[in-house]
Amino acid sequence: MAHLDAVVVGAGFSGLYMTYRLRRRGLSVQGFEAGTDVGGTWYWNRYPGARCDSESLSYSYSFLPDLDQAWHWPERYSEQPEILKYIEHVATTLELRRHFRFGTRVTSASFDPARDLWTIGTEPGDRVTARFLIMATGCLSIPNWPAIDGIERFRGDRYHTGLWPHEGVDFSGKRVAVIGTGSTGIQSVPRIARQAEQLFVFQRTANHCVPAQNAPMDPEAERAYKSRYARMREKARHSISGDVVPEEYITIMDLDDGELAKELDRTWAQGGFYTQYPYTDLLTSPEANERVAEYSRNHIRGRVRDARVAERLCAKDHPFATKRLCADSFYFETFNEPHVRLVDLRATPIRAIDERGVATSDRHYDVEAIVFATGFDAMTGALTAVDIRGPERASLRDAWKDGPVNYLGLAVAGFPNLFTVTGPGSPSVLTNMVSAIEQHVEWIDACLAWMGEGGASRIEAKGEAQARWVDYVNRSGDATLFPRADSWYVGANIPGKARVFMPYVNGLGTYRDECDAVADDGYAGFTVT
Ligand code: N01
């Protein structure tokens, strides 16, 4: 059995960077990846319209300044093939593939306290031992197939957006159902509608949405950004969002209706997540939030011709941006097309799927293909999918059955030498993911270096430090409107999952300072042996 310094699970943005850093430090690293190549999220999510909602110029590694200058992103927000091309380029240039075993899923990991070693088991059956186990498995990587009666009986084509066929899918001339209207449904519906003969969009919850305002990359904007790249990266690292956003702070409740409308016209025209960043009270004041929500509903009412359809597309049951805000490109206009129909599952719930399509409480929809845009077992799913056992054989699944607990979103008490990249309890999904990933990878790398220098072989989060962290993360989340929504942030999309608001809300900059303070204090809150 091979013995390594570290095993890295996953070859997305985080696994590749982690591997690069550890190799540079002279450690032996073995990576495992279930896919047949690098890319992570961008390897699996190839559905039509898949695009990043963070801007191209900031959604890339910051540690490759020459590549920053050389790389050209064709659009303001990149489509999946462009991002995958970038990741593949980095993997090739840095020769990272040779450290990975592809088509190999890690299924188990158990810690031997006598030797301070993890034994890692895979499908199809490799076993290796390693001092450190680093789970770079992503926050949204375990697809959620909904528990709809009869799903397996369907005789047509069935797709999950998170497991999209590499050769693509041609819906031309077909009757198609899309189930799910989160970010993914909202991105894919306009594209599928271009091909399908008839498209039924099954919506359970209308989502708050802002226009992406995507466009071809403006050469002048690109030049200007590139001339200040280093400064932009530094700003992003210390920002709330992990992105470069305007440094203006506006309190919605200080504005009268006319001023607010003018202000929101401005941010809506900028597009994307600019609509949520400047507002100090958007996610804490229900009244402020509702004013923005109503503005966004009016936007939809102006874009959809049939007033009844428009009303159904307006989110009313949760505050604005408390489920992941969606960024749309012609989503709402798609419902003006004669061959596209919205099915409101609140009025007519799905009863079953049968051989020929989807049956709701009032009729049967005959379709030849069903697209499940039904999301993921987010944040914890990829971690609890692996049978991870600590020194006393206690399992991570059991430790997290009432919701994930950890220290700094990076380590779990009872599981020494295990690190989670962008785990629950860290900013991750509330920020630009690449910025969040880099912060975690660099912190873990520095921690391993410090341990190496001191001859330490074991690091483990203390129970009391973990309890304080969990309490702090929970209290911070509870001070916002986020927990009011039945979102995947709280695990509400997975039947039986404990309801806990999982991300850290105080921003990447603050979080970075807190993690650095722990390191500067000799890894306070950890037991190091
Ligand atoms: O998944 P979701 P997603 N019957 O969980 C519905 C990231 N992302 O894949 O809201 C009927 O948000 C469900 O309904 P409801 C981003 O972070 C990033 O769209 O539970 N419907 C909902 O409408 C995003 O948040 C980018 O009532 C059912 C939908 O399925 C995350 O991925 C681009 C159902 C699931 O929405 C996940 O987004 C795209 C059922 N039984 C996505 N079960 C980037 O920009 C579920 N639904 C990088």
CATH number for the domain harbouring residue 493: 3.50.50.60
Q: Is the CB of 44 under 6 A from ligand 1?
A: no
The pLDDT value given to residue 116: 97
pLDDT per position as a tens digit, 423-472: 999 999 999 999 999 999 999 999 999 999 999 999 999 999 999 999 99
The pLDDT value given to residue 169: 98
Mean pLDDT of the chain: 97
Both 158 and 264 in one domain: the answer is yes
Both 322 and 462 in one domain: the answer is no
- Candidates 111, 22, 114; CA nearest to 416 is 111
Query: What b/e readout covers 82-96, taking b as 16+ CB neighbours within 10 angstroms?
Result: bbbebbbebbeebeb
- Candidates 50, 97, 95; CA nearest to 77 is 50
From 178, 184, 210, mutation site for ligand 1 pocket: most ligand atoms within 8 A of C-beta: 184
Work out which ligand 1 atom sits closest to the CA atom of 372: 30
Is the C-alpha dihedral spanning 22, 23, 26, 29 positive or negative? positive
Span between the terminal Cα atoms of the chain, in Å = 25
Residue 308 lies in a domain: yes
Domain extent for 261: 151-372
The pLDDT value given to residue 249: 87
The one-character DSSP state at 495 is: T
The pLDDT value given to residue 280: 93
The one-character DSSP state at 46 is: -
pLDDT per position as a tens digit, 181-209: 999 999 999 999 999 999 999 999 999 99
Judge whether residue 242 has pLDDT over 80. yes
Both 354 and 408 in one domain: the answer is no
pLDDT per position as a tens digit, 377-394: 999 999 999 999 999 999
Å from CA of 49 to ligand 1 middle: 14
Judge whether residue 493 has pLDDT over 80. yes
Both 223 and 322 in one domain: the answer is yes
Atom 24 in ligand 1: which residue has the minimum CA distance? 183
Rounded alpha-carbon distances, angstroms, from residue 292 to 53, 186, 253, 481: 20, 20, 11, 14
Both 382 and 485 in one domain: the answer is yes
The one-character DSSP state at 132 is: E
Atom 40 in ligand 1: which residue has the minimum CA distance? 146
Model pTM?
Answer: 0.97
Q: Is the CB of 185 under 6 A from ligand 1?
A: yes
In angstroms, rounded to a whole number, what is the distance separating the alpha carbons of residues 194 and 190? 7
- Tell me the CB-side half-sphere exposure of residue 150, using CA atoms within 13 A: 15
Cβ-contact 143, 163 below 8 angstroms: yes
Q: Is the CB of 322 under 6 A from ligand 1?
A: no
Work out which ligand 1 atom sits closest to the CA atom of 147: 41
Task: Give the angle 524-61-501 at the CA atoms, nearest 5°.
Answer: 50
Å from CA of 186 to ligand 1 middle: 9
| Segment 395-414 mean pLDDT | 98
Å from CA of 101 to ligand 1 middle: 30
pLDDT per position as a tens digit, 36-56: 999 999 999 999 999 999 999
Å from CA of 385 to ligand 1 middle: 20
Judge whether residue 247 has pLDDT over 80. no
Residue 191 lies in a domain: yes
CB atoms within 10 A of CB 259: 12
Å from CA of 326 to ligand 1 middle: 10
Judge whether residue 246 has pLDDT over 90. no
Work out which ligand 1 atom sits closest to the CA atom of 327: 45
Both 411 and 506 in one domain: the answer is yes
The pLDDT value given to residue 277: 81
| Segment 110-128 mean pLDDT | 96
Cβ-contact 359, 350 below 8 angstroms: yes
Residue 61 lies in a domain: no
Both 125 and 166 in one domain: the answer is no
Residue 392 lies in a domain: yes
From 183, 276, 312, 435, mutation site for ligand 1 pocket: most ligand atoms within 8 A of C-beta: 183
Both 22 and 117 in one domain: the answer is yes
Residue 71 lies in a domain: no
317, 352, 372 - which closes a domain = 372
The pLDDT value given to residue 276: 82
Residue 341 lies in a domain: yes
| Segment 500-507 mean pLDDT | 97
346, 372, 398 - which closes a domain = 372
Å from CA of 392 to ligand 1 middle: 37
Å from CA of 199 to ligand 1 middle: 18
Both 394 and 279 in one domain: the answer is no
From 204, 207, 342, mutation site for ligand 1 pocket: most ligand atoms within 8 A of C-beta: 204
CB atoms within 10 A of CB 520: 9
| Segment 2-30 mean pLDDT | 98
pLDDT per position as a tens digit, 472-490: 999 999 999 999 999 999 9
Rounded alpha-carbon distances, angstroms, from residue 516 to 67, 266, 441, 496, 513: 28, 37, 13, 36, 5
Residue 192 lies in a domain: yes
Judge whether residue 275 has pLDDT over 90. no
The pLDDT value given to residue 193: 98
Residue 64 lies in a domain: no
Q: Is the CB of 345 under 6 A from ligand 1?
A: yes
Both 230 and 276 in one domain: the answer is yes
Q: Is the CB of 182 under 6 A from ligand 1?
A: yes
In angstroms, rounded to a whole number, what is the distance separating the alpha carbons of residues 504 and 426? 5
Atom 5 in ligand 1: which residue has the minimum CA distance? 375
Q: Is the CB of 181 under 6 A from ligand 1?
A: yes
Q: Is the CB of 49 under 6 A from ligand 1?
A: no
Work out which ligand 1 atom sits closest to the CA atom of 375: 1
Rounded alpha-carbon distances, angstroms, from residue 464 to 63, 138, 199, 354, 457: 35, 27, 53, 51, 22
Work out which ligand 1 atom sits closest to the CA atom of 492: 20
The pLDDT value given to residue 132: 98
Cβ-contact 185, 164 below 8 angstroms: no
Å from CA of 436 to ligand 1 middle: 21
Å from CA of 374 to ligand 1 middle: 5
Q: Is the CB of 204 under 6 A from ligand 1?
A: yes
Both 179 and 328 in one domain: the answer is yes
Cβ-contact 346, 204 below 8 angstroms: yes
Counted domains in the chain: 2
Instruction: Give the model's confidence band at 84: pLDDT under 50 very low, under 70 low, under 90 confident, else very high.
Output: very high
372, 398, 414 - which closes a domain = 372
In angstroms, rounded to a whole number, what is the distance separating the alpha carbons of residues 270 and 476? 29
Both 189 and 261 in one domain: the answer is yes
